[in-house]
Amino acid sequence: MAGIRIAISLAVLTGHALAVNNGLARTPQMGWNNWNALGCDVSESLLLDTSKTLVNSGLRDVGYNYVVLDDCWSDGRDEKDFLKVDMKKFPSGMKSVADEIHREGMLFGMYSSAGEMTCARYAGSLDYETNDAISFASWDVDYLKYDNCYHMGRFGTPKLSFDRYKVMADALNATGRPMLYSLCNWGEDYSHTWGMSIANSWRMSGDIYDSFSRPDDLCPCSNAADPHCIAPGSHCSVMNIVNRVAVYADRGQPGGWNDLDMLEVGNGGMTDDEYKAHFSLWAGLKSPLLMGNDLRTLSANALTILNNPAVIAINQDPEGRSITRVRRETDAAPDKYGAGEIQVWSGYLYGGDQVVILLNAGGKDTKISASLAEIFLHEGPEGSAPQVQEEWDVYDLWANRMDTDLAQKILDADTADLPKLFKEANWYNSTEISYKEGLKKNDPRLLGKKTGKIAPGGSLTVKVDKHSAEMFRLRSVGTGGKRKVHSKDEL
């Protein structure tokens, strides 16, 4: 605790905000959560089968190491007001489930709500935070997703919501067991302004659903600055969430992250290009990457999106800085859902590299061009950034996407055959070499495929298909990417 107090004092003296200092989520958390695909259809066998699939598919080894159980697992409270586990769904008990998940080399997450009931109307944790934190610790839980339903009116100002969520933060810390704390309050009461003080991630929008751009009245908020936005809601499309987070994309930092909600990749409501764009944006925006599909029916196509180490390396970059939007043209290529727009996103990376995402949310294929002056806008306006005068190699981060036939072989293989297939795939195993170490060593699996150059003062110009995104890593030729502050050796 003394170390935490010193860190906070330094933050006050230097004027810099610090994320919660519990040693967790130094890069955005990765894993799986059952809710999007399965809702209340939860069981002990689901969690254990999913854990094995995470290992056998290689997804654990590229970084997905949290297995998170969502709502509908409890059976009320006992005579001492401690939560009871539904023993029909979890006959071995939660501690046994956690032990099995830990034996697979992964971490175990659970769910509750900062309300009198959870969203599915099971017992909530409001006013029972100490008891519930003790239970979670005794079950060896590593992660708590903490929802926002039935909060008994204790919201409406940032202070009210902060205080309600801080009670659980203090209770978790008091157990002595490190547990990643993930707020799920849908961005209400400006959680992006205070979430980093107590939590490792904070939801910034209503619940996602499996659509790229379809508007829905249940998700009315597309702009965080809209004073008439009073209900973050649900049924929020990928584009709704992206446009909402744009105004405070830079609020995440090592230890605390904007949470854009779970991934929909593999659930069937989007095209392959839309899922690629969805995954690219979540990675670049440094959102936690929690898969929301049923991994027991994982398709080869979905696997080849979720397991791309060159894209995951952007999410897990040790600089911990989100991409930010440098251009939005809303009148480009309108389509029937009114999401006709193109966007350019850019952000700096470890070692002086730069990531660029060219997003086409319109209804027809479009050529998008982004100049170096635009790409490095936040390093210096009006082309004043020193990087504008450098030459850059361009690496396509999707060019080395795994072949679907190989992915299908992995999904169909017996356990004994997997090492050979992983070797054939030239698999990146982040449990053996972290993304930080891989980037230090310039591991080619993390860099994508070199496809061209940008001359000093030049532009990146690419044809982008409708409802898709192209994602690139830029590497300076010879100079290492000039920065005003950060250097290659700082981390």
Could you tell me where the beta strands, DSSP code E, fall in 137-285? 143-147, 180-183, 201-203, 257-259
Of the candidates 144, 159, 217, 220, the residue with the CA atom closest to the CA atom of residue 186: 220
Rounded to whole angstroms, the Cα distance separating 210 from 198 reads 30
DSSP 64: -
- Is 412 a catalytic site residue? no
Rounded to whole angstroms, the Cα distance separating 151 from 393 reads 51
Catalytic residue among 147, 189, 210, 317: 147
**3-class secondary structure, 309:** helix
- Binning the chain into helix, strand and coil, the percentages to the nearest 5 are 35, 20, 45
Rounded to whole angstroms, the Cα distance separating 176 from 417 reads 41
Catalytic residue among 207, 317, 353, 396: 207
**Number of H helices and number of E strands within the chain?**
15, 18
- Judge contact between 433 and 488, C-beta under 8 A: no
- Judge contact between 226 and 245, C-beta under 8 A: no
C-alpha 80: how far from its chain's center?
37
Helix H or strand E encompassing 168: helix 158-174
Alpha-carbon separation of residue 147 from 22, 207, 215, 366 (angstroms) = 20, 11, 24, 40
Could you tell me where the beta strands, DSSP code E, fall in 180-262? 180-183, 201-203, 257-259
- Judge contact between 110 and 68, C-beta under 8 A: yes
- Is 147 a catalytic site residue? yes
Q: Residue 490, class by beta-carbon neighbours within 10 Å (0-12 exposed, 13-18 middle, 19+ buried)? A: exposed
Question: Both tokens of residue 368?
Answer: 């998008």
Q: How far apart are the first and last CA of the chain?
A: 24
Question: Both tokens of residue 386?
Answer: 């020193």
Helix residue ranges, H only, 216-371: 238-245, 272-284, 300-306, 309-315
Q: What are the catalytic residues? A: 147, 207
